[in-house]
Amino acid sequence: MKSEKPRNALTFVLLCVFGLIMIYPLLWLFGASFKSNEEIFGSLSLLPSHFNWDGYIKGWKGSGQYSFGLFIFNTFKMVIPTVFFTIVSCTVVAYGFARFNFPLKKVLFALMISTLMLPNAVVIIPKYIMFKNFDWLNSYMPFIMPAVLATHAFFIFMIMQFFRGLPRELDESAKMDGCNSFMILVRILLPLSKPALISAGIFQFIWTWNDFFNSLIYITSVKKFTVALGLRMALDNSTSVAWNQVLAMSVIAIVPCVLVFFFAQKYFVEGIATTGIKG
């Protein structure tokens, strides 16, 4: 017992040091959002000499016709349907792979998993041409429609692994009570699969919220810019950059992701653990 106490103390100290190293950029970001440009580049202190709220006030108003609030609203308008349809469509496909036998099941599953190995740079041009032919450019349809059609193989596989860990006796008992396949999914499996579904939702929320490359490709109108594009627009190389405004809006931009993660942290950890060990 005596030898374990120093070891536990050392582990605690190392975890604290590692945690401080990981959180330092966020602390610096928050502190620098209250500084002036001169203090940001001229001081190593985390805390400002005096708190200046101009970065938040002027940054929220924006430098042009549109405020930063519009960019946040646009991002929610894109993210919420994408997350919802991702969960619904991927759950249906995962249920089919986990509980049903049908012709070419293994081939189709292998094709689905193989899409995980395709880098985005390979498919970006065909996707752009296709979305252009559908007249979906400069809209949020390139993000929403793939979610409707269950194109995210990672989430299908994750939810399917969770379904495989649920006993089939539950399905048989429900059939004896008169449930069909759809009712089994809705009434039996979905309530038990809450951790996996919430994990998929968190992943998709954060990935879509922070997506810069695809937003830059498909969205051209400033009126429809997302948070990532709005932040980039503030970095105008032709004039001096008000870094406190950029950093202040960066703090606001990460708040939704942080809140979503911490409010659903319990289900997120449980969902990752169970989808990884069951199958």
pLDDT digits (tens, 9 = 90+) for 120-151: 888 999 999 999 999 999 999 999 999 999 99
Whether residue 71 is contained in a domain is answered as yes
Whether residue 14 is contained in a domain is answered as no
Residues with pLDDT less than 70, the chain? 1-4, 63, 236-239, 268-279
Q: What is the pLDDT of residue 152?
A: 92
- Domain range spanning residue 249? 62-277
Whether residue 19 is contained in a domain is answered as no
Whether residue 170 is contained in a domain is answered as yes
Whether residue 45 is contained in a domain is answered as no
Secondary structure, 3-state, 61-87: HCCCCCCHHHHHHHHHHHHHHHHHHHH
Whether residue 38 is contained in a domain is answered as no
DSSP 117: G
- C-alpha angle with apex 145: 208 to 218, nearest 5 degrees? 60
Domains in the chain, number = 1
CATH number at residue 269: 1.10.3720.10
Whether residue 22 is contained in a domain is answered as no
Give, in order, the Cα–Cα distances in Å from 245 to each of 1, 150, 177, 231. 53, 38, 61, 10
Look at residues 23, 87, 46 and name the one whose alpha carbon lies nearest to residue 258: 23
Q: What is the pLDDT of residue 210?
A: 93
182-202 tens-digit pLDDT: 999 999 899 888 888 988 999
Q: What is the pLDDT of residue 176?
A: 86
Whether residue 9 is contained in a domain is answered as no
